[in-house]
């Protein structure tokens, strides 16, 4: 009887040496301890500790891997360390910003009446009382919140038709004509316009047409649309471009006119991308400060008419509260209000981004059997 | 419900490039005509000129006449949209509208043109078109589901149902089976055989067996070399083309000695 059993070996011939599964954790622990030791010599601080430990960790893991597993695996580990390191470095400021605004802004936001009252009649005397006698903090951001919402909505109403129709022209009718190429070029230029220039343009235009000193929410909305239109054009154009030509041809072959094809086949197919592009464009301009300051001015009272009178907005509210506190001798209540407004602004942008995702999902072409 | 097509001295250009030269062909009503030939010989281009779909490509133009029952498609004042509603087209890759359900895909030609149609009439039209495309039994329980959820062969039959729902005179098919498996191909070939009772069918195919199976007449297109225009080499009854062609090039092609 012959045996065909393969000889029993300790390790498969197809593998090389392997690090134990816990290797990264071991190296991390060693790196943290070593890092702390090194930092202790030159004066300890948390930031330096993190940097030194990270370098030690990467060097230790790659070196160990090189000895045990060979060069290829070591390179793999090095690349992983770099990718993860870059990811953490990118994420750190983001979390830091959110954390700072959350910590500083929450007391202001939780203040009763913060979202429902304006700064009308709130003077430095009240803030002094708050600080010195512990009286409740008065004043809120209602007027600024209203201003931001109204100005942004009006800017959207102006920008979306202009931007979307431009994108439709470029993709469906442009055919690489000189006009289309010129529009593409100028849209690219417009993307890079500094926001203050857009503000000055809108202010100057209204000064010339309506009269000097015209500062209303509508002027601010025009300034914001100058910033918004190129973003809407660009994102809509990309979305329309990826609609397969086969769908257009299918509609033409059924005897459907071009404009109906665009309206009923191309746009519905691209609508989810277009909608999220528009939402991101809104998120981009909602925090603009400079153009609003020169176009809508600044107000402490509630003004819901975008066509007359100065108008407050969240960014300008933050700006003035920090730069010119309501009570110059006791700026703390003002800065608390400013942080609260900043938190509201960030929440608005987050809501918009969430909204964009929801819209994208809602409109996305249906799948399923 | 079907018309004949007569083509006289047709040249097709892409800007200055002459893609197809001097085609003369008479396509009978209620018959299946197959265009065969090597890749790049202009048969798809020529097919697209038969319902003015080539105009979608910038720079494309034609010289000559295409007569649909005597009316020139390229006459002055002819609206390409009217032409296309009389001459439907099925493409190489199935392209149902992804945003629409199966039912809406069938009704696309009606709905996209905003033609008023009652629900009862729409139901009848959907059933008749899907029956006509041999798809009714497979999808009748899920008409509300997206058309993109069907298999490739089903999607192609859905596209055929969509094309016949607008009740065209002629149906053009541009390699309708090249993206399908043999069973779906067979289903579509059977369908083409049924369609010719009511419609004039023109089909472009790379599959010579398919041309031999489904067509009454076959046109062989060829190209002398890259950069040269494609030409119609021979046109005749399918059995003649495949067993006893007059041209040497046709014989070489159908017997597999070339291309």
- Residue that is written with structure tokens 């102006």 in the block: A158
pLDDT digits (tens, 9 = 90+) for B43-57: 889 999 998 998 888
Smallest CA–CA distance, residue A272 to chain B, in Å, is 11
Q: To the nearest whole number, what is the mean pLDDT of chain A?
A: 88
Residue B259 clears pLDDT 70, i.e. is over it: no
Helix (H, G, I), strand (E, B) or coil at A6: coil
Contact of A243 with chain B, judged by CB distance below 8 Å, is answered with: no
| pLDDT band per the 50, 70, 90 thresholds, residue A117 | confident
CA distance B200 to chain A (A): 16
Q: Which of A59-63, A140-144, B177-181 is the least confident region?
A: B177-181
* Residue length of chain B: 259
Which range is least confidently modeled, A2-11, A226-235, A284-293, B230-239?
Answer: A2-11
Residue numbers in A near B109 (CB within 8 A): 254-256
A272 touches chain B (CB under 8 A): no
pLDDT tens figures, A306-324: 888 888 899 999 999 888 8
| pLDDT per residue as tens digits for the range B146-187 | 888 898 889 999 998 999 898 888 999 998 888 788 888 888
Q: What is the overall mean pLDDT for chain B?
A: 89
Chain A residues in contact with B146 (beta carbon < 8 A): 365-368
Portion of chain A with pLDDT greater than 90, in percent: 47
Q: How far is B81 from chain A (nearest CA, A)?
A: 5
Six token digits for residue A169: 């022209």
CATH number of the domain located at residue range(s) B5-95+170-254 in this protein? 3.40.50.300
Res B255: pLDDT: 84
* H or E stretch covering B89: strand B87-90
Question: Residue A7: which pLDDT band, with cuts at 50, 70 and 90?
Answer: low
The sign of the dihedral angle between the CA atoms of B96, B97, B98, B102 is negative
Q: What is the pLDDT averaged over residues A267-283? A: 89
Give the pLDDT mean for B76-103.
Answer: 90
User: Which of the pair, A129 or B258, is modelled with greater confidence?
Assistant: A129
* pLDDT of A2 strictly over 60: no
Q: Do B148 and A366 touch (CB under 8 A)?
A: yes
pLDDT at residue A4, as a whole number: 65
Distance (Å, whole) CA B6 – CA B31: 14
User: What pLDDT was estimated at residue A3?
Assistant: 57
Count residue pairs from A and B with Cβ separation < 8 A.
93
Q: What is the mean predicted confidence (pLDDT) over A237-247?
A: 92
Backbone φ, ψ for residue A4 (5° rounding): -105, 15
Least confident of A165-179, A313-327, A353-367, B96-110: A353-367
Q: What is the mean pLDDT of residues A26-51?
A: 88
Confidence at A12, pLDDT banded by 50, 70, 90? confident
A254–B97 CB contact, under 8 Å: no
pLDDT for A345? 92
**Mean of the pLDDT values across residues A102-127?**
85
Hey, are the CB atoms on A254 and B166 less than 8 Å from each other?
A: yes
Alpha helices in B43-201 (DSSP H): 43-49, 80-86, 102-106, 108-111, 119-132, 136-139, 152-165, 182-195
The reply to whether A250 touches chain B by the CB within 8 Å rule is yes
A248 three-class SS: helix
Q: What is the pLDDT of residues B120-148, one digit of tens each?
A: 999 999 998 998 888 898 898 989 888 88
Query: At residue A176, does pLDDT exceed 90?
Result: no
Look at strands B170-174 and B60-68 and give their pairing: unpaired
């Amino acid at each position: 009887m012959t045996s065909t059993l393969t000889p029993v070996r300790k390790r498969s011939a197809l593998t090389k040496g392997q690090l134990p599964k816990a290797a990264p954790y071991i190296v991390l622990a060693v790196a943290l301890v070593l890092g702390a030791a090194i930092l202790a010599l030159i004066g300890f601080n948390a930031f330096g500790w993190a940097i030194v430990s990270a370098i030690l960790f990467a060097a230790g893991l790659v070196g160990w891997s090189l000895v045990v597993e060979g060069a290829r695996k070591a390179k793999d580990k090095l690349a992983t360390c770099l990718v993860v390191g870059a990811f953490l470095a990118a994420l750190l400021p983001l979390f830091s910003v959110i954390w700072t605004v959350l910590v500083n802004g929450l007391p202001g936001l939780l203040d009763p009446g913060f979202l429902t009252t304006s700064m009308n009649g709130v003077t430095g005397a009240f803030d002094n009382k708050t600080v010195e006698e512990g009286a409740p903090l008065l004043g809120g951001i209602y007027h600024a919140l209203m201003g931001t919402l109204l100005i942004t909505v009006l800017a959207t109403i102006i920008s979306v038709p202009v931007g979307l129709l431009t994108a439709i022209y470029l993709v469906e009718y442009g055919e690489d004509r000189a006009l289309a190429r010129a529009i593409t070029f100028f849209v690219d230029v417009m993307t890079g316009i500094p926001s203050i220039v857009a503000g000055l343009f809108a202010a100057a235009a209204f000064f010339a047409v309506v009269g000097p000193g015209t500062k209303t929410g509508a002027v601010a909305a025009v300034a914001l649309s100058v910033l918004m239109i190129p973003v809407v054009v660009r994102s809509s154009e990309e979305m329309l471009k990826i609609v397969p030509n086969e769908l257009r041809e299918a509609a033409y072959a059924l005897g459907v006119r071009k404009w109906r094809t665009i309206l009923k086949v191309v746009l519905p197919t691209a609508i989810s991308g277009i909608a999220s592009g528009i939402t991101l464009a809104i998120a981009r301009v909602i925090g603009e400060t400079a153009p609003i300051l020169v176009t809508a001015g600044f107000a402490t009272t509630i003004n819901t008419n975008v066509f007359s009178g100065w108008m407050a907005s969240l960014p300008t509210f933050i700006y003035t509260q920090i730069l010119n506190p309501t009570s110059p001798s006791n700026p703390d209540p003002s800065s608390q209000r400013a942080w609260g407004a900043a938190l509201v602004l960030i929440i608005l942008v987050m809501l918009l981004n969430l909204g964009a995702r929801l819209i994208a999902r809602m409109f996305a072409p249906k799948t399923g059997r | 419900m079907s018309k004949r097509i007569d083509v006289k001295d047709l040249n097709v250009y892409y800007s200055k490039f002459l893609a197809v030269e001097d085609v003369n062909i008479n396509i009978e009503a209620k018959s299946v005509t197959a265009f065969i030939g090597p890749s790049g010989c202009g048969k798809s281009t020529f097919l697209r000129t038969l319902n003015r779909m080539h105009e979608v490509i910038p720079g494309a133009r034609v010289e000559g006449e295409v007569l649909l029952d005597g009316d020139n498609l390229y006459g002055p004042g002819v609206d390409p949209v009217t032409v296309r509603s009389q001459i439907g087209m099925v493409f190489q890759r199935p392209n149902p509208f992804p945003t629409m359900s199966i039912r809406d895909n069938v009704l696309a030609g009606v709905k996209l043109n905003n033609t008023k149609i009652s629900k009862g009439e729409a139901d009848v039209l959907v059933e008749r078109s899907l029956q006509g495309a041999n798809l009714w039994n497979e999808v009748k329980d899920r008409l509300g589901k997206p058309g993109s959820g069907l298999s490739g062969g089903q999607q192609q039959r859905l596209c055929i149902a969509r094309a016949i729902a607008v009740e065209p005179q002629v149906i053009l098919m541009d390699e309708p089976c090249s993206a399908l498996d043999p069973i779906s191909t067979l289903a579509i070939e059977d369908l083409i055989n049924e369609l010719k009772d009511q419609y004039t069918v023109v089909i472009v195919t790379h599959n010579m067996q398919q041309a031999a199976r489904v067509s009454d007449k076959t046109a062989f297109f060829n190209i002398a070399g890259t950069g040269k225009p494609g030409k119609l080499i021979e046109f005749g009854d399918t059995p003649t083309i495949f067993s006893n062609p007059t041209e040497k090039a046709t014989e070489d092609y159908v017997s597999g000695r070339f291309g």
